[in-house]
Structure 1
Amino acid sequence: MKLTAFSDIALRVLLLMGGLPEGTLLSTQRIAESVGAPYHHVTKTVAKLRSMGLLESQRGRAGGVSLTEAGLEANLGSVLRELEANTAIVECEADEASCPLNHGCKLRAALAKAREAFYCELDSVTIADLVNERQAGKVAVSIGLAPPRNAFV
């Protein structure tokens, strides 16, 4: 199974924010630079992650985006379920009329079961489990922040 670019960016944002010192606020522009993704894509991703309660933001000159406790404790399976909710594995999932074999087809059910098994495997992994402070420390230094306390840059 291949994740969408949207999910890829979302996971990068969560890992970056999780590796920074608690309470660190970053602008969406700095996040985009840090994760190597276009600003407009990161803006949409941050908005979705905020609506999921994984990030919070503060407006104003000293504002920015930070990871919530729920974001750090979120399990990867549930995050991806929500981010990938409308993504079809094969075309017939998206448009039943396009396949002449759709009547009585068992492929969609088999693929849905496989997708759920994929997510279930990731249910035991939290964002905190994936955070690599050493990695995040290098990124933090590259954008002018102090590295996390435990990062060996």
Structure 2
Amino acid sequence: MDALFWLEDSFVGMTVSSTQWGYPIVLSLHAVGMASLVGVALMLTIKVLGFGTSIPVTSMAPYWRVALGGFFLNLVSGTALFCGNASELFFNLAFRIKIALVFAGLVLTWWLVRICIKRVDAVSVGQQWLAFLAMATWITAIIFGRLIGYWA
């Protein structure tokens, strides 16, 4: 608990929790990062699921950099948000589930990106199931992110 209170009392923690603009700015950055990361991930999953047949799967690979940029923005802003309320968030079940789902979503999406990097336009049924699972994981992570404020 001492480490959690130390995070809350740090410059970042105090800026997020105790200033008028700290929390809204950091939360807005978190939303932009989420839109970039999850937006690209969902574009890729939708393409692998068979929509947009005129667009080759291999054309999706360059967008992975945008998704990684969104992830790093979320990592920084999410860490700042955590510092603002560490002693409560650490024990929040919705927060823990969200974090696990985000990392699962990253792994699943990376497996889909490897399809694009291999320059293979053919998509198997197994890869379509992987895309569906990745999509469900990202959507569920967003839902649990919203539930953080309501679960103790």
Give your verdict on TM over 0.5: no
Task: Kindly indicate which of the two structures has a greater share of residues assigned to strand.
Answer: 1
Task: State the TM-score, normalizing by the size of structure 2.
Answer: 0.30
Greater relative CO, 1 or 2 (CA 8 Å, sep 6+): 2
